[in-house]
Structure 1
Amino acid sequence: MTKPIILNAAELPEWTRAELNTHFSVLELPKQPDDAAAFLREHGRTIRGIALRKTKIDTAFLDLVPELEVISSYSAGLDNVDVAAVKARGIKIENTSHILAEDVANTALLLALAVTRDLVEADRFVRAGAWTEKAAFPLGRSLSKMKVGIVGFGTIGSAVARRLQALGSTVSYFGPNRKPVDLPYFDDVTRLAADSDMLILACPLSDATHHLVDARVIDALGPQGYIVNIARGPVIDEQALVAAFAADKLAGAALDVFEHEPSVPEAFIQDRRLVLAPHIGSGTEETRRGMAEHVVDALARHFGIAGPRPNA
């Protein structure tokens, strides 16, 4: 039986690539854009599936793969994919949001606690020998006593909410649609910010959410407010955030993602009120393996191939 031809347009672990080669005829997309376009013009009509990570999928790309049936993305976010164009052509999209949700939610909680309890500075305080009988570390804020607004209430946002509720936080949320949950819903992010002590960003990046958190939202959150971002960097207007800290309009922020990562504004690096992480939301061995496995499994299911994890 002829194996389905798929395109590997992702940097994946070697064992994942080996699994793909076991079940499919795999074409490797060249990394240089000009080479990739030429490659697709030659081979694109044979491609029925794509293993995806960061490669941009737009209408020009889709025009070169007219027999494409399914895209299996390693990431949760699909901001590199023209989703409307893909769906209009009847192409199935699979991503890994349900796999990475728990660890990303754990990271959100980690960052929320770190910024409200000033954990990074507390570590430095001890290491510097500043902890003495006469020198106590400054008091932090209680996340359990806070009103926390979650921006985006999909798989990840709801996982964040469960953790916050277990701590005793008062949780509400913003999104394009009300969800079947017993939590206050806001259809305007500025009003959510005005009603919250902290905003946790867990929404996908799209035209609608690009710079969603701008100067107006930051002002509504207020000088005692906090922001945690485990979504995508451009959801926040970084220049507005820099300006807000310069004017003491926020108490703190904890950011796992940045607008132009891996570049981080020098103002963030120098400001002790920010906790910074290098996009590690899903960064555990277990979750990253599960994400890679799902890339293979989703393609195998689509083509009716018995894979190594039939119950995955």
Structure 2
Amino acid sequence: MAMLRDVTVLQAAELPEKTDRELREIFNVLRLPTDEAAIGPLLAEHGTRIRGVAVRHAHIDAAMLDRLPALEIISSYSAGLDGIDVESAHARGVVVRNTSRILAEDVADLALALSISATRGLMRGHDFVREGRWGQIAFPLGRSLRSMKTGIIGLGHIGSAVAARLRAIGAATAYSGPRRKPVDLPYFDSVEGLAAWADLLVVTCPAGPETIGLVNHAVLANLGPEGYLVNVSRGTIVDEQALISALAGNRIAGAALDVFENEPFVPDTLRNDPRVVLSPHMGSGTHETRQQMGDSMVAALVEHFESRSA
């Protein structure tokens, strides 16, 4: 890969040590400054020769793309592309890659764990035992996940992995999305319709202009007072105030959330509600998957530039 040492890649991400080292061994790497005031001078000096970007959480908009006229590929360490103006990138002929296929299984595992935790009251049961209440009063019964109709919003890599797990336990499953997929599952062309059918709604769709606030007052009203919401995608997809209002009015039964609108801030009303299970955006948070994500991000860059030089 010696020929790739002449390729300049902008590293706009904090990466695992192995990934960071490999990126620097293969390419000529420039690190995006954390000081915003220093970004402009770096792009003014080097922007015309930057051909690739390795990104994690950085914001790459049309204005930044204009300063990278030689850019060919953006390779994202994460599944989400909400920080990247994908439409503008594609309009400029820039390839965009992410790692959603890599992290799908771990995120789906967490989605299932959160679903069971919310519907069976697992965290409340933990506190019930820890606080010494077991034997004094009866612990309330929960819901059987296999008996519940589960609606999945977005049947991509993660949604499909969630559906496979639900199928294995015998739960009735349906999905919604911008288009019908070639799968043997009931399809709803609206999230409102899916929510009206479902007892449990799992959010796995990507964040974008068309999905921000997608789970709103109307969707939660259709989910109803015995329904549960699980979100393992992005916090912006759920209207957080609508969710807080629905919980306060007992218009849904509970929620399990791995993501939040303004992370790491979580409203006190959600943190203190015993019907809400919380986790710190840990869907892909295993040693194995995080390293595979890094490997995949570097591989996408290598494959792109090797194919260009072949």
Give the secondary-structure state (helix, strand or coil) at the position aligned to 1:192: helix
Write the distance in 2 (CA, Å) between the matches of 1:197 and 1:288: 32
Q: 1:122 and 1:287 mapped to 2: Cα distance?
A: 30
Matching of residues 130-279 of structure 1 within 5 Å: 130-132=133-135, 135-279=137-281
Per the TM alignment, residue 298 of structure 1 is displaced from its structure 2 partner at its CA by 1.0
Moved over 2 A (4+): none
Q: Any unmatched runs of 5+ in structure 1?
A: 306-312
Q: Distance in 2 between matches of 1:180 and 1:50?
A: 33
Counterpart for residue 310 of structure 1: none
Deviation of 1:128 after TM superposition, in Å, equals 1.5
CA contact (8 A) 1:3 1:23 kept: no
CA distance in 2 between counterparts of 1:199 and 1:57 reads 31
| Residue of structure 1 in register with 2:90 after alignment | 87
Q: Does 1:36 align with 2:39?
A: yes
Equivalent residues, number: 304
The one-letter code matched in structure 1 to 2:99 is T
CA contact (8 A) 1:8 1:29 kept: yes
2-structure distance, mates of 1:13, 1:77: 18
Which moves more between the two structures, 194-203 or 85-94?
85-94
Q: Which amino acid aligns with 1:154?
A: G
- For residue 28 of structure 2, what is the amino acid of its counterpart? S
Shift of 1:278: 0.4
Q: Secondary structure at the match of 2:6?
A: coil
1: CA distance, partners of 2:22 / 2:94: 23
TM-score, normalising length: structure 1: 0.96
State yes or no: 1:96 paired with 2:99.
Answer: yes
The answer (yes or no) to whether the contact 1:232–1:258 under 8 Å persists in 2 is: yes
Q: Give SS of 2:251's match.
A: coil
Between the aligned partners of 2:281 and 2:131, the Cα distance in structure 1 is 28
Distance 1:266 1:199 in 2: 23
Q: Which residue of 1 aligns with 2:13?
A: 10
Q: 2:129 aligns with which of 108, 126, 132?
A: 126
Which residue among 26, 51, 55 is the counterpart of 2:54?
51
Q: What is the root-mean-square deviation of aligned Cα atoms in Å?
A: 1.0
**1:288 is aligned with what amino acid?**
R
- Map 1:273-292 → 2, pairs under 5 A: 273-292=275-294
Question: 1:102 & 1:3 partners in 2: Cα distance?
Answer: 36
The secondary structure found in structure 2 opposite 1:303 is helix
Is the CA contact (8 Å cut-off) linking 1:153 and 1:174 kept in structure 2? yes
| More displaced stretch, 33-42 vs 49-58 | 33-42
- Say which SS state the counterpart of residue 78 (structure 1) adopts: coil
1:17 shift after superposition: 1.4
The residue type paired with residue 257 of structure 2 is L
Q: Which amino acid aligns with 2:10?
A: L
Identical-residue share of aligned pairs (%)? 54
Q: Give the distance between the partners of 1:205 and 1:105, measured in 2 at CA.
A: 17
CA drift at 1:14 = 2.2
* CA displacement, residues 182-233 of structure 1 (integer Å, 9 cap, x when unaligned): 1111111101100100100000011111000000110000000000000100
**Bigger mean CA deviation after superposition, 171-180 or 25-34:** 25-34
Scaled by the length of structure 2, the TM-score of the pair is 0.96
Residue 248 (structure 1) shift? 0.6
Q: How far apart are 1:136 and its partner, in Å?
A: 2.8
State the Cα deviation string for residues 14-33 of structure 1 (Å, max 9, x = none).
22111111110101111122
- Whichever residue aligns with residue 230 of structure 2, its letter is V
What residue number does 2:118 align with?
A: 115
Is the contact made by 1:116 and 1:142 (CA closer than 8 Å) also made in structure 2?
A: yes
**Cα offsets for 1:125-179 (capped at 9, x unmatched):** 11112212x6332110010000000000101001100000111111000000000
Q: Which residue identity is paired with 1:269?
A: R
1:27 is aligned to: 30
Aligned counterparts of 2:203 and 2:16: Cα–Cα separation in 1: 29
